[in-house]
Chain A
Amino acid sequence: DGGITQSPKYLFRKEGQNVTLSCEQNLNHDAMYWYRQDPGQGLRLIYYSQIVNDFQKGDIAEGYSVSREKKESFPLTVTSAQKNPTAFYLCASSIDWVEPQHFGDGTRLSIL
């Protein structure tokens, strides 16, 4: 079955630690996205990539980094510079910018 796989489902970060959230898709989509969702809030865009080896900052990119070395993969690193990383992180992909985005099941990140 085609889809988007995010791992891990739950992640805990210690102070000063970088952590990486995985996002893999087998939908052959060119565009991929990372969102952050805080309780009771909508989704805010962190980073997006429209093609391999290219990505753009979204609305809240500070404290995060990404790479897009393969079409299927778009990992998100939450760096120690992100002072309030506790949130629900969703990865999405789409054929292009006009088509509906398809989402993974998300990763819940908490601070230890």
Chain B
Amino acid sequence: AQKITQTQPGMFVQEKEAVTLDCTYDTSDPSYGLFWYKQPSSGEMIFLIYQGSYDQQNATEGRYSLNFQKARKSANLVISASQLGDSAMYFCAMREPPRSGNTPLVFGKGTRLSVIA
């Protein structure tokens, strides 16, 4: 079963507008962490934001915020005031506690965001 689902292969957003990138996850463990990474065309992976399953508040980092809805098992990334430099692939990832057979970090297939001037 797919543990991380990103349903939007591609998204377009006008410069200076906000955009939401969707991520749903599947786990039966009460303790887990959710990460978002940005991958520009050059290939490097840039860590953006983290949300722990026990965190009471939604995570925020500058223009990035995470809309965490635990009951729905969703962790959507919100980028405010989009900039041309935000054009990239965005990956949602989840970690579960290290037990036998657990993959340390599981990635979704990504969403390609294009910011239009």
Interface of A toward B, CB cutoff 8 Å: 31, 33, 40-45, 48, 50, 58-59, 88, 90, 92, 97-98, 100-106, 108
> Contact at B91–A43, with CB atoms within 8 Å?
yes
- Tell me, in angstroms, the Cα distance from A43 to B3 when the chains sit together: 13
On chain B, the residues within 8 Å of A97 by CB distance are 95, 98, 104
State whether A45 and B109 are in contact (beta carbons under 8 Å apart), knowing that A92-B45, A105-B43 are contacts in the complex.
no
> Contact at A42–B108, with CB atoms within 8 Å?
yes
| Nearest-neighbor residue (CB-CB) of A92 within chain B | B45
Select one of B37, B43, B93, B109 contacting A41, CB under 8 A.
B109
What are 8 A-B pairs at a CB distance below 8 A? Answer: A43-B107, A45-B105, A90-B45, A97-B104, A100-B50, A101-B105, A103-B44, A103-B45
Interface size on B, residues (CB 8 A): 22
Chain B nearest Cβ from A23, distance in angstroms = 14
On chain A, the residues within 8 Å of B4 by CB distance are 42
On chain A, the residues within 8 Å of B12 by CB distance are none
- Does B28 reach chain A (CB closer than 8 Å)? no
